[in-house]
A and B are shown apart, each in its own frame.
Chain A
Amino acid sequence: MADVITFVWGQAGADRAARGLLGAGQRLAESLTGKLRVAILGKADDSVVSAFQTLADGVIVLEDELLSEYHPENYLAALIDVCKRHVPHVVLLGNDTYSQELAPRLAHRLGGSAAGDAVDVAMVDERVRVTRGVYGGKATAVIALARTPGVVWMRARAMAPAVDRAPGEVERVRLGIAPDKRVRVVSRNVEARSGARLEDARLIVSGGRGLGGPEPFKQLQALADAIGAQMAASRAACDAGWVPPSWQVGQTGKKVAPELYLAIAISGASQHIMGIADSKVICAINRDADAPIFKHCRFGLVEDYQKVVGPLIDKLSRQK
């Protein structure tokens, strides 16, 4: 028997990332002819639990008070405990920061192997193989994990979502984790930003080095507001301090998967493309027709953004 366990955070609910993750889990469990279980950590009300019920063979709800909020050491202990009880062949996590923080440590404690930022996971000769971008997106590697379990964090939003099936059973568990005294969360701060998280955004307007300073971002914000999009930026713009680091998209920033990614004055270095490759449609405005970004675009406009953005806002506000 070779089962799959996925770990999700209750607060996020069965969002696109969780559904993508479970989709990958369903397909993998099928190829292993094993069960797919989903363990929910953090606050999860009944609607969240029942949403997951139809997506997995089993739902494990962890009810320890200690796990109501993320804590790296306590969460790690909980993941280890669940894995020791169910002995999965593969553990799947999303690519949020918490999952990335936990995955390698979980693999180490279980004597397994981890690999992350996966765009695909498959079984080949009973070994887990993970496909991922390397060298800043210039190459793709297939990594063969040598140990079991395979712990994989996935580009969850890019995965085909899980399909509904007969509801699985719900198991409510109190693990009785001993609280870790070495680490204490002092404060958790949410950056003020209107609308959806960047990773969940369906429309994104993004600006780059070509904007030359913080001022043009205000105009891009007006464009984003006109179409109900979220704002993002390339690393160059964030490093220059023009916009907050949390706007950064790319290998070293967030990985987004919107329906439309509109890149303005972004050249499109491979490191940036790594963060936007899961977008459904990429389009760009750039005055350089040879800018690498256009290689990834469905459509593009070769113009100086300064001449375009103002009129574009007018037209899009009217057409909406």
Chain B
Amino acid sequence: MVYLTRKAEFSASHYYHNPDFTPEQNRQIFGKCNNPQGHGHNYMLEVTVKGDIDPDSGFVVDLKQLKEIMHREVLDAMDHRFLNKEVPEFTTRIPTTENLAIAIWQRLEPKLDNAKLHRVRVYETADLFVDFYGER
């Protein structure tokens, strides 16, 4: 089994707000991230797939295909977008880095046929990242 990781960068804005909380609770729990005008990040995405090396190609996965899937499923939908307003998953879920990693996993996982998705890592900043391994 060999693991392969592909990176991609995208920039997006978001804010954290739960309509079930009072305005005070939202401010207290989410702090500056509760600003309804939103704020942005340069997200770094790392997608790790795993699989056996194909003896003919020497590849775990065709990197060109993986890159295309990441672009189509993730970057086209999220790059230079306001996540709360433009990405359907976040009309009902708060676009935290945790939920972003889960949403990206759910977008990619059914599209990968040759290799198995191992990990989605999303860096919100260089000092904060979330890993999702598809665990329930």
Decide whether A and B assemble into one complex: no
- Give B residues with C-beta under 8 Å from A: none
Task: Give chain A's interface residues, CB within 8 Å of chain B.
Answer: none
